[in-house]
């Protein structure tokens, strides 16, 4: 996983072959970084923002909490996947040459180190700085007598009535505990009313209660004061075992495998099958045990045995285990001085000056860049379509849209108004499955046609198609995006939205919808690339055309901005392009399995990752010699996107809009505030502002340009 001197020397030997006229072996495992290690490195870049003094204090705290949430998912899905391969005897070595056993061992080693760093930042950096801003998370030892009395009453009235202590004995075996639930293990002495003397008990923290409680202002000095539910329970837990002595009380949490598997040829009803899987997710096999740092070895060993885990899967934390729940406290704070300035997304002038979205789009394509520009025009387009007497049909894909979605509400209104509404709902959008089941049911009740895409391929494309009768003709209006139809995400994620009435591309969108909802042979869109059929092949052709241009002595350039780069054929094509002299800049937020900077192989490739206020989510690709140089897509350059999902990639046909996107890509490459550069050994270095350069943050520049 990590580069050793031996490994580096092999890379150098490979590159020397290329330099002396030989051809490097582009299938060599030395040229590929491990996917899961790269994913973990992204999480560490997020954690680094928690100590970035250019970031406002409360936002630094949020980055720490995002890291905690990301690590939960990392274990639930990624490490769980490696462990499952081993358990079921399906150990497949990746392009990097590492087996799942090697990957799992290395990931645990690195996860222990980075998690320890997380709690060091919490305890030694953020808590003291928050205290200076009069924001306090009060440990038990700091409680005044008056506060203890209030906490005692709170426990008695709010906590004790809903808590269920579980003594352990032959009649009460170790309970099944829900994934990520907060629990306490207790060591007891004495006998209860029935004469039982088990010695151990489990106390689950009530899931219905907040994990962080704000203390009434009158009980504390100036500022905001919070107490963890875990501290309240620990301080009063003896009340749950009257007549017995509590010798030890320590919090713990188990992380379980949360991946769902409903891809089965015998599944007759995916919605019904998924409901069963959602329940089982709460009790999947354990992959990680978290305990308080003070928990004695005999209790942590007992828990490891109960969850069938090894020592490397035990994580001891010096602080609250459910750290991401601190967000409950952050949401109660009104501190603009230590937060990012409020975001007011802009709206393009031609939309502001017209109340009719169809008229605006008819006059020319509209490109929005979220979150700097508002997502509301997209919602307005659907709302107007729902009310417009001339609109006959609306078709839309829905991957993630949120629990209370204005988009879904507009589609429901359209169906009730007699429009032909078709929604392609992807039920398997990870961790949004339950919400998607809910709004799919609402759409069906309103009279919309709901289909669940293709069983073997997730529908990840972001498409909206509106068919409108104008005079004697039917006209198609459409929206294609790089992100989801989720208004909340559109304020946090960077994405592009294209709204157009281009006839040929509208026909392409129509064909993709027909393929999704019906059955038939492969379609042949004129402009759109679509996975799993043509996108990989078309992207390879665009890369190869730049290679050919470079070999002819022409200027050649590729810029790709995406969330992940793992697909081996794409990486090999980029290596070949680099060797031919193509200048390649990759802006890859998360996973990147390509090694840049290897002489003779990837010396013309630069890889940067931008981690800033907004989550970089847009997928856009620039090819200098293509007929249409700029493409936007719902798909990353990953195996799953290109080969196992329904995705679309579309050219930006209007030259002014294409040039705008190109300039914005170049802006990201100049960033010296939020940019990390990938090295050949797989490590990332923060891009430093040179002595003579101007401070430049791409996100700040785009905020200044587009937001209000």
pLDDT at 400 over 90: no
What's residue 579's pLDDT? Answer: 97
pLDDT band at 18 (very low <50, low <70, confident <90, very high): very low
Among the options 225, 370, 460, 617, which is catalytic? 460
What's residue 158's pLDDT? Answer: 95
In DSSP notation, 649-678 reads EEE--SHHHHHHHHHHHHHHHT--SSEEEE
What's residue 551's pLDDT? Answer: 97
Residue with tokens 């409903």: 262
Query: 562-607 pLDDT, tens per residue?
Result: 999 999 999 999 999 999 999 999 999 999 999 999 999 999 999 9
Residue predicted with more confidence, 520 or 706: 706
pLDDT at 1 over 80: no
Query: 297 CB contacts (<8 Å, ≥6 apart)?
Result: none
- Give the ranges where 308-356 is alpha helix by DSSP (H): 327-330, 349-352
Choose among 621, 474, 632, 652: nearest CA to 558: 621
Least confident of 100-104, 175-179, 262-266, 353-357: 262-266
Q: Are 495 and 618 in contact (CB under 8 A)?
A: yes
C-alpha to C-alpha distance for 81 and 613, rounded to whole angstroms: 30
Residue 33 Cα distances to 9, 70, 376, angstroms = 16, 20, 40
Q: What is the mean pLDDT of residues 653-667?
A: 98
Return the biggest CA–CA distance within the chain.
90
Q: What is the mean pLDDT of residues 514-534?
A: 90
Residue with tokens 């979150």: 371
Q: Are 10 and 559 in contact (CB under 8 A)?
A: no
Q: b/e map of 481-490 (b: 16 or more CB within 10 Å)?
A: bbbbbbbebb
pLDDT at 264 over 80: no
Choose among 477, 480, 478, 512: nearest CA to 495: 480
For residue 669, is the peptide bond before it cis, meaning its omega torsion is within 30 degrees of 0? no
476 bridge partner residues:
467
pLDDT band at 405 (very low <50, low <70, confident <90, very high): confident
Q: What is the mean pLDDT of residues 637-657?
A: 96
Residue predicted with more confidence, 243 or 676: 676
Q: Map out the domains of the chain with their CATH numbers.
A: 5-108 (1.20.58.310), 125-264+286-338 (3.30.1840.10), 349-517 (3.30.870.10), 529-706 (3.30.870.10)
Active site residue 527: no
pLDDT at 702 over 90: yes
User: Residue 699 is encoded by which pair of tokens?
Assistant: 């996100």
pLDDT at 194 over 80: no
Find the helix or strand (DSSP H, E) in which 203 lies.
strand 200-204
User: Residue 41 is encoded by which pair of tokens?
Assistant: 């490195």
Terminal CA-to-CA distance of the chain, rounded, Å? 45
Q: What is the mean pLDDT of residues 456-463?
A: 90
pLDDT band at 14 (very low <50, low <70, confident <90, very high): very low
pLDDT at 196 over 80: no
Q: What is the mean pLDDT of residues 215-231?
A: 93
Task: Give percent of the chain with pLDDT exceeding 70.
Answer: 91
Determine the distance from the C-alpha atom of residue 407 to the mean position of all C-alpha atoms in its chain, rounded to a whole number: 21
Q: What is the mean pLDDT of residues 448-458?
A: 84
pLDDT at 257 over 50: yes
Could you give the angle at which helices 100-121 and 57-73 cross, rounded to 10 degrees?
A: 150
What's residue 11's pLDDT? Answer: 42
What's residue 7's pLDDT? Answer: 38
Q: Are 348 and 370 in contact (CB under 8 A)?
A: no
Residue predicted with more confidence, 273 or 672: 672
What's residue 193's pLDDT? Answer: 62
Residue predicted with more confidence, 275 or 502: 502
Q: Are 633 and 649 in contact (CB under 8 A)?
A: yes
Query: Of the segments 72-86, 277-291, 297-311, which one has the largest average pLDDT value?
Result: 297-311
pLDDT at 455 over 80: no
In DSSP notation, 47-88 reads HHGGG-TTS-HHHHHHHHHHHHHHHHHIIIIIIHHHHHHHHT
pLDDT at 281 over 60: no
What's residue 94's pLDDT? Answer: 84
Choose among 323, 313, 259: nearest CA to 288: 313
The pTM for the full model equals 0.91
Q: What is the mean pLDDT of residues 464-493?
A: 95
Query: 328-381 pLDDT, tens per residue?
Result: 999 999 999 999 999 999 999 999 999 899 999 999 999 999 999 999 999 999
The helix/strand/coil state of 226 is strand
Residue 681 Cα distances to 3, 31, 101, 446, angstroms = 6, 10, 21, 55
Residue predicted with more confidence, 277 or 6: 277
Q: What is the chain's Cα-based Rg?
A: 28
C-alpha to C-alpha distance for 313 and 350, rounded to whole angstroms: 56
pLDDT band at 437 (very low <50, low <70, confident <90, very high): confident
What's residue 431's pLDDT? Answer: 57
Query: Of the segments 19-23, 55-59, 254-258, which one has the largest average pLDDT value?
Result: 55-59
Work out the mean pLDDT of the chain and round it to a whole number.
90
Find the helix or strand (DSSP H, E) in which 38 lies.
helix 35-48
């Amino acid at each position: 996983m990590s580069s050793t001197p031996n490994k580096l020397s092999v890379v150098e030997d490979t590159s020397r072959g290329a330099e002396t006229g030989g051809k490097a072996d582009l299938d060599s495992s030395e040229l590929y970084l491990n996917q899961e290690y790269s994913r973990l490195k992204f999480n560490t870049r997020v954690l680094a923002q928690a100590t970035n003094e250019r970031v406002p204090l409360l936002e630094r705290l949020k980055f720490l909490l995002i890291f905690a949430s990301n690590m939960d998912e990392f274990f639930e899905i990624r490490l769980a996947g490696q462990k499952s391969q081993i358990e079921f005897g399906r150990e497949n070595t990746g392009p990097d040459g590492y087996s799942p056993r090697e990957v799992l061992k290395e990931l645990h080693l690195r996860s222990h180190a980075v998690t320890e760093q997380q709690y060091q930042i919490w305890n030694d950096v953020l808590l003291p700085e928050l205290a200076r801003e009069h924001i306090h998370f009060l440990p038990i030892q700091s409680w005044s007598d008056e506060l203890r009395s209030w906490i005692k009453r709170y426990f008695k009235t709010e906590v004790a009535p809903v808590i269920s202590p579980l003594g352990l004995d032959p009649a009460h075996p170790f309970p099944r505990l829900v994934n990520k639930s907060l629990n306490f293990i207790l060591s007891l002495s004495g006998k209860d009313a029935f004469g039982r003397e088990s010695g151990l008990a489990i106390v689950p923290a009530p899931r219905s209660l907040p994990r962080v409680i704000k203390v009434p202002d009158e009980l504390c000095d100036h500022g905001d004061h919070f107490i963890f539910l875990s501290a309240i329970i620990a301080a009063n837990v003896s009340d749950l075992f009257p007549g017995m002595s509590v010798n030890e009380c320590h919090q713990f949490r188990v992380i379980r495998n949360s991946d769902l598997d409903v891809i089965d040829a015998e599944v007759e009803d995916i919605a019904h099958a998924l409901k069963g899987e959602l329940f089982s997710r709460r009790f999947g096999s354990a992959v990680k045990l978290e305990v308080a740092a003070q928990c004695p070895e005999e209790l942590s060993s007992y828990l490891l045995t109960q969850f069938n885990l090894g020592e490397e899967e035990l994580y001891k934390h010096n602080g609250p285990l459910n750290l991401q729940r601190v967000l409950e406290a952050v949401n109660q704070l009104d501190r603009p001085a230590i937060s990012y300035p409020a975001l007011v997304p802009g709206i393009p002038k031609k939309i502001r000056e017209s109340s009719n979205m169809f008229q605006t789009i008819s006059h020319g394509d509209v490109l929005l860049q979220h979150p700097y520009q508002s997502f509301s025009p997209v919602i307005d387009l659907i709302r107007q379509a729902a009310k417009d007497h001339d609109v006959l049909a609306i078709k839309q894909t829905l991957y993630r849209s949120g629990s209370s979605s204005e988009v879904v509400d507009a589609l429901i209104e359209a169906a009730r108004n007699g429009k032909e509404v078709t929604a392609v709902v992807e039920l398997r959008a990870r961790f949004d499955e339950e919400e998607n089941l809910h709004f799919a049911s609402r759409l069906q009740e309103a009279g919309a046609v709901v289909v669940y895409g293709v069983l073997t391929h997730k529908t990840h494309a972001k498409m909206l198609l509106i068919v409108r009768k104008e005079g004697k003709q039917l006209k198609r209006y459409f929206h294609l995006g790089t992100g989801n139809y989720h208004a909340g995400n559109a304020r946090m994620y960077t994405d592009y939205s294209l709204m157009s009435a281009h006839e040929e591309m509208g026909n392409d969108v129509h064909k993709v919808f027909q393929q999704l909802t019906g059955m038939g042979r492969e379609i042949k869109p004129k402009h759109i690339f679509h996975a799993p059929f043509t996108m990989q092949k078309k992207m390879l052709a665009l890369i190869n055309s730049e290679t050919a241009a470079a070999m002819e002595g022409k200027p050649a350039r590729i810029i790709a901005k995406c969330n992940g780069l793992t697909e081996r054929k794409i990486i090999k094509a980029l290596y070949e392009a680099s060797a031919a002299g193509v200048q390649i800049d990759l802006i890859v937020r998360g996973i990147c399995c390509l090694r840049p900077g290897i002489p003779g192989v990837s010396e013309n490739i630069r890889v940067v990752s931008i981690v800033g206020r907004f989550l970089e989510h847009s997928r856009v690709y620039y090819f200098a010699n293509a007929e249409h140089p700029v493409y936007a897509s719902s798909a990353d350059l990953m195996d799953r996107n290109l080969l196992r999902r329904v995705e679309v990639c579309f050219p930006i046909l209007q030259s002014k809009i294409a040039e705008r996107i190109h300039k914005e890509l170049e802006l990201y490459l100049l960033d010296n505030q939020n940019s990390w550069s990938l090295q050949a050994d797989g490590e990332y270095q923060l891009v430093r502002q040179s002595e003579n350069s101007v401070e430049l943050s791409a996100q700040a520049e785009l905020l200044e340009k587009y937001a209000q």
